[in-house]
Amino acid sequence: MARFFGEKTTGHARLRLMQPQRFLRVVLPGPLDQSFDYLPPDPAPFQAQPGVRLLVPFGRQKRCAILLENSSESAVDHSRLKPALQQLDESPLLLEPDLKLLRWAASYYQHPLGDVIFHALPSRLRSGRSIQRAQPEGWRISALGEQQDPDLLTRAPRQRQLLKLFAAHPAGLSREQLKRQFGEALSALRSLQQKAWIEPCTLHPTQPPDTPISGPTLTSYQQQAVERVSSAFGGFQAFLLDGVTGSGKTEVYLKLIEQLLTGDGQVLVLVPEIGLTPQLTRRFERRLGCRITRLHSALSEGEREEGWHAARLGESQLIIGTRSAIFVPLPRLRLIIVDEEHDLSLKQQEGFRYSARDLAVVRAQQNNCPLLLGSATPSLESLQNVELGRYQQLSLPTRAGSAQLPEIRLLDTSRIRLEAGLSPQLIEQIAATLEQGNQAMLFLNRRGFAPVITCHACGWISDCPRCDARMTLHKSSNLLWCHHCGHQHRQPAHCPDCGSSELRPLGQGTERIEDLLQRRFPEVALARIDRDSTRRKGSLEHYLKAIRRGDYPLLIGTQMLAKGHHFPNVALVGIIDVDQGLFSADYRAPERTAQLIIQVAGRAGRGDHPGRVLIQTRYPDHPLLQTLVQQGYAAFAREALQERQLAQLPPFSHQALLRAEANQAELPLAFLQRAAELERQAAQSRGIELWGPVPAPMERRAGRTRAQLLIQAGERRLLQGWLSGWLKQLRDLPEARRVRWSIDVDPQEML
């Protein structure tokens, strides 16, 4: 021991020699799926708890690590261990319940634990930077300050003025308010704060009202749902709130949250899209007198970190966020709500591939609190969990208030001439709707002007040079743009192959529909909502507010418009091209298509005006469309589950997808073939099937060749146990170092 600590034994070293040896087990971010042991940093004694960050030497670098445990044993020769350099946090950022969830996620999704844990931290903290809470937005008078007489401050007139002002505004005053009246009164503010007569506080741009606004009277169905969930407070139970569009699912959420916020409980609400968080936040602020924290990627790093700390320290009772918010530490969690639980956006598709919905089930179970999953079009997995008794189903079969479900009609476009994708009947209905003073909304899940341009002379097509895909024409910027890899270049004036100027757009995107409608209805204000038109921060929220005010009678959008938005004046919805989802090779495509149709249709008739939905299709007799129109989503879901059971596809089996890609075309398939050979016979003997390997449906993307291997088993436990051993072998393969590979457990996108 003396040799390890050096020739000269210091006082700290002597103290350490007298104490039992301790080892720090840590994890670091990155692909290495293992922990590392270190000695405590000087000076001793060292009292850190699991969940704190440490600065450690790693090779020639200094890296930020998370302490997993203090151990009395190490499998590494003690003389080879290095001391950690520094403890970065006074108290743990992640408590044991947080680490328990992250360990479960790493194990289930077969992802390195260090990567998973660091994924749960705000980006600044991942790099080892110190915690910096946001500067106070304002100050308020403290309990001690209320006991003071400002007039006694005869020698400090500025402090006297400030203290009187704070006494008149007990809720607090912002920096801007103080600056307008007193300029930069920092010295006086500092003096009052040093005396503890004022204290920093956070003021919200939209301050919740002192007296929350009461909501509408609940329907009998809503009341039953609230009673069922609230009876489960204090224990775990998963509920599926299956309510038609416009049935008032949010009112159920609000009533449940109101009950919990009377105490000190915290509620986590997950939404699939960033665009839904401002809408929910405004509605909740009008009804609830609590601090609301938003967590999503559109916020700045500082805003996200401040919200994360407010949630972690229990300062915020209500947290609304997108999928990554499932990991935010919540010491007093009492309820988790997942809105639009069916939505694909709740599954992370790159890097650490996790399902926020499925992790919500695990977190609620570990925290012994209820989970409420809400949707008008529940996923087949959730409906099967109802059948198995794992979830309790709560139904809202009617719309709230006087609103009625819209009438849905199919428009056969197989034998009629379309104008920029629109049929004469749809254009007539748009005109009639606008004449009645209502809003009309058109849906097309394809942005840009046209999905491809071609040369009429030689047949050239605008292929992406880096992908097996076409480049989309964006007329507003005069660019050809690949929506898969981001490659773009100017639209050519002449054909690159033959030099002809006969270049023509084929198909339609939202820009082309916009162009047609502006010519057809030149006096009508039109809003196009897609990723291109809402790139600037705050632009989507601006559009949504204007649409609700009725500023735009005519709306065109992608699926950004289909998710949970309430537009009371929309009387007509037109779905321009539903056929692209009817014949996909992905077995989940019918489910996604049915959900999208019902969700888009649900934007119509939510106010006082009856709604109509017109669906353009060249296949009006398709069974999926007939079932949806005549019998509804529930009937479709029953049939789809029967088909999945016959084919033994999820949720009646469990899958993982091994993907590989490389710059050299032959490497991905070679790696996957070698991976399959490792355990194919052993897998088959245990009832595990390996399908492939095969080239990916889009074999070339961003200049790299891709392939995949599907693994399927009848039992989740069986698949998990087999994957753990198999993936360890893969990491040792020489071929694994020549490709980029990943495992996706419970894959949602096969193509």
Can you say which residues are annotated as belonging to the binding site? 455, 458, 464, 467, 482, 485, 495, 498
Amino acid present at 258: E
Is the Cα dihedral 173, 176, 180, 184 positive or negative?
positive
With tokens 């390996």, the residue in question is 690
Q: How many Cβ atoms sit within 10 Å of the Cβ of residue 231? A: 11
Q: Quick one: CA torsion of 70, 73, 78, 80, rounded to 10 degrees?
A: -60
Closest CA to 622 of 576, 578, 591, 575: 578
Cα angle vertex 172, ends 168, 176, to 5°?
105
Exposure string of 710-734, with b = 16+ CB inside 10 Å and e = fewer, is bbbbeeeeebbebbeebbeebeeee
Amino acid present at 489: H
Three-class SS state of 283: helix
Beta strand ranges found along 261-332 (DSSP E) = 266-270, 292-295, 318-321
Alpha carbons 533 and 449: distance in angstroms, whole number:
13
Q: 286 with 336: CB under 8 angstroms?
A: no
Amino acid present at 655: Q
Q: 285 with 294: CB under 8 angstroms?
A: no
Three-class SS state of 68: strand
Closest CA to 383 of 641, 629, 597, 644: 641
Exposure string of 542-560, with b = 16+ CB inside 10 Å and e = fewer, is ebbeebbeeebbbbbbbbb
Alpha carbons 118 and 114: distance in angstroms, whole number:
6
Cβ neighbours for 224, distance < 8 A, ≥ 6 positions apart: 394
Positions at the binding site for Zn(2+)? 455, 458, 464, 467, 482, 485, 495, 498
Both tokens of 81, joined, read 């261990």
Per-residue HEC secondary structure of 630-687 comes to HHCHHHHHHHHHHHHHHHCCCCCCEEEEEEEEECCCCHHHHHHHHHHHHHHHHHHHCC
Q: Give Cα 559 distance to the centre of its chain.
A: 15
> Which DSSP helix (H) or strand (E) runs through 190?
helix 186-194
Amino acid present at 362: V
Alpha carbons 640 and 644: distance in angstroms, whole number:
6
**What burial class does residue 538 get, using C-beta atoms within 10 Å of its C-beta: 0-12 exposed, 13-18 middle, 19+ buried?**
exposed
Q: How many Cβ atoms sit within 10 Å of the Cβ of residue 458? A: 13
Q: First vs last Cα of the chain: how many Å apart?
A: 58
Q: 282 with 255: CB under 8 angstroms?
A: no
Amino acid present at 431: A
What count of residues does the chain have?
751
Both tokens of 219, joined, read 């329907």
* β-bridge mates for residue 742, sequence order: 659
Three-class SS state of 610: coil
Alpha carbons 89 and 66: distance in angstroms, whole number:
10
